[in-house]
Structure 1
Amino acid sequence: MHGGTTTGFAGAIRYDLKRLHESWMALFFPRQRGTETGVLGKWEPSSTSGKIAYRAWSALGAPVVAALYPLALVGFAVRYYTRRIDGTATRLGALGVILVSILVWGGLTALARLRFSTTGFLAVGAAGGIATVAAALAYLTGTRGGRASTVLLAYPFAMSALFLPPVVAALYSPTLSSVVLDNSYTLAIWILDNPLDLWGLNTLLREQFTLEGANYVAMWFGISVPVGWLVGLLVTLADVVRPKSA
């Protein structure tokens, strides 16, 4: 927090909105953020055309900020949990992340050996192996790269590592199937009837694919990418409003 500007709930909201609007202004104009303690202060244009452009961009930013702020609030919560996971992963290191993934998904594979057919056991084991590789890639792209690689690669890899083995196991377990696959089917209908209801895309998918067997795995792999991007963007938005040091 920064002094009296964030005193109380209303003050915190004003601070957040101010930071978000300054970030919007900084897309095209220099020296907009963090100028309270600077000698020069916030930059403003001196020409008439510059002032018109500056004020127009500022006015346009008001509804954008109003629309983005609720997402930033969600981003604060998401960032809290991702920081805890990132901190644990950093302490474990790449080898530790791999070992934990092997332990978790190896346990699921061992259970599959006892409960499933040989085919089911091999499928779950393969899914666990792929998930372990994805977890390692999530760690490497999240710690060795910058913000772009974290959002574009690390979060989707992490989602894939999380989603894949349970979905594969559900293909061979009636108990898991009633939870995972039934809810996946309901989710698929919602996605087709809402986000993918564009240019006949949902009709094309319904004609070309039947949601059964391995297509459930393909569905969740497809979901893991945009979900990972969404998580990354929410965390990024939270960092814009309140950086890690704030």
Structure 2
Amino acid sequence: MEALFLDVVRLHETWMEVVFPRQLDPSAVLGKWKPETAVQSVGYYLWAVLGAPLVAVAYPLLLVGFATRYYAAKLDSAVTRIGVAGAVVVAAVVWGTLTVITHLQLPFDAVIAVGAASAVAVVSAAFAAGFSKLGGRFVSVLLAYPFAMTALFLPPVVAALVTPTLEELILPPSYELARWILDTFLSVGGINETLRGAFDLETFGEQWGLPGLGYVLMWIGISVPLGWFLGLLVALANLIRPAEDA
């Protein structure tokens, strides 16, 4: 409970720091800045009140950031122990084993599906591991997290494109998800109508001999912003509760 209270306080202090100096981690010499005039007091406390509902909304997201940071740290620790090449080998062995098992027990089209998914997963995992070890929060947010999300979401879609059985399970829900995103998040400014007029999700790519390319690009388009979002939540978690204090 004490940790929760401290997190909320620091989250609100971060909000205050946007406008007023020395709110988050003030120096021991100068201390926390406080308003000195009536005008400053009105602005200070008004800004504090405006921040309260934002903190209430942001705190659950902060918890997501803590959880993401925890599991990302576990993966990063594993990559540190075995190296990027080792992580790629492990991913290749796991997915390769799954492909072999599929070959022994399921029809050939299932083998093709798992093999295609394996290739996508291994390549995406390699990029995610590589960029995570380059160092720097910016690189991690910009590249490592999006590739990690791609490694998670894209393999099933690739498998569905080459397997009729999986196609029926994955592509129709993907189509419905795309329609929902267009009708909600992308309805601002007529973006949805522009996209609908320019692309057909089900047929895009066929003109280049790449059927299903629309679904692949759709899930990349979901994975990348989601990776950025999670990366920013981790950055917020590091600001509110540095990793060594977690």
TM-score range (shorter-chain normalised) is: 0.7 to 0.9
1:171 aligns to 2:161 (yes or no): yes
Amino acid at match of 1:21: H
Does the 8 Å contact 2:201/2:215 carry over to 1?
Answer: no
Displacement of 1:27 in angstroms is 2.7
Structure 1: runs of 5+ lacking an equivalent: 1-8
CA distance in 1: counterparts of 2:97 and 2:163, whole angstroms: 16
Structure 1, residues 119-143: CA drift from partner, whole Å, max 9, x if none? Answer: x83x865664454333222223222
Tell me which residue corresponds to 1:5. none
Tell me which residue corresponds to 1:22. 13
Displacement of 1:168 in angstroms is 1.1
Amino acid at match of 2:213: A
Tell me which residue corresponds to 2:141. 151
TM-score (norm 1): 0.79
Tell me which residue corresponds to 1:238. 237
CA distance in 2: counterparts of 1:162 and 1:13, whole angstroms: 31
Does the 8 Å contact 1:116/1:173 carry over to 2?
Answer: no
Tell me which residue corresponds to 2:177. 187
CA distance in 1: counterparts of 2:29 and 2:48, whole angstroms: 23
1:206 aligns to 2:205 (yes or no): no
CA distance in 2: counterparts of 1:14 and 1:196, whole angstroms: 36
Tell me which residue corresponds to 2:24. 33
Displacement of 1:228 in angstroms is 0.6
The 3 A distance-change label for structure 1 pair 53 and 40 is: same
Q: What secondary structure is seen at the aligned counterpart in 1 of 2:233?
A: helix
RMSD: 2.9
The 3 A distance-change label for structure 1 pair 176 and 92 is: farther
Amino acid at match of 2:234: V
CA distance in 1: counterparts of 2:185 and 2:99, whole angstroms: 35
Tell me which residue corresponds to 2:80. 90
Tell me which residue corresponds to 2:128. 138
Displacement of 1:232 in angstroms is 1.1
